[in-house]
Amino acid sequence: MNRYEGRRALITGGGSGIGQATVLRLLEEGGTVVAADVSEAGLEDTVQKAGTAAERLTTVVVNVADEASVRDGVAAAVRALGGLDVLVNAAGILRSSHTEQTTLADFNQVIQVNLVGTFLMIRESIPALLDGQEPAVVNFSSTAQNFAHPYMAAYAASKGGIQSMTHALAMEFSKRGIRFTAVQPGSISSGMTDGSGRARQSAGPGLPADADMTLFQKTAPMLQVGHGDFNFAGPDAVAAVVAMLASHDGYFITGTEVRIDGGSHM
């Protein structure tokens, strides 16, 4: 499929996990892409994995939590692409802890990166999207938004805000031609996990050492995909859905979300 031939996309979180998988998927389908990430090393890895398609890939270092960085990064992306048709807000962080031990700084950091970062990227991209072809924005909510994921109150709050904002924006821009949708990943191995689906301990977002794992029984995926100890799917499962939503195939979809969790929350 070449659904993205002649289509210009900006993807945050493009240096790892689902964001990187989405960059590679849209390149595979013929798109011209700017991958944005706070990690230069991650972006270099994405370029390497893009292979010959890297000729249609530009990278830009962006901290989505910083207004000036977002403003400069989006401007650079639009210049490189010559416009903008698709924005994918995949950048995000996960910080898990006992709520009574969660500092205000940690709570605010999750909100700033996930929720405020998504807002800033959208705000700065809207002028270019309004001039784009079949413009579409895909935001990242989570199954944690409306299903109980213990130790993740800040993360759930940030993703709930993103989902609500997606609905509001879809209505606001419905007559101006921009579609807004969201994906709700769950049970996905990504940059936030260690590859088996467990939240990583080393980089900050890991579960508390004394976490009660029985509380996660209701979040176990039902589909048997055989990926990792906990049967988590790879990031390509989400990238495929994002590619559909932001393509012409999704032309009649806006103001809604798609859950991608292997039946964890049936």
Q: Which residues are catalytic?
A: 155
Cα–Cα distance, 68 to 126 (Å, whole number): 16
Sign of CA dihedral 38, 41, 45, 48: positive
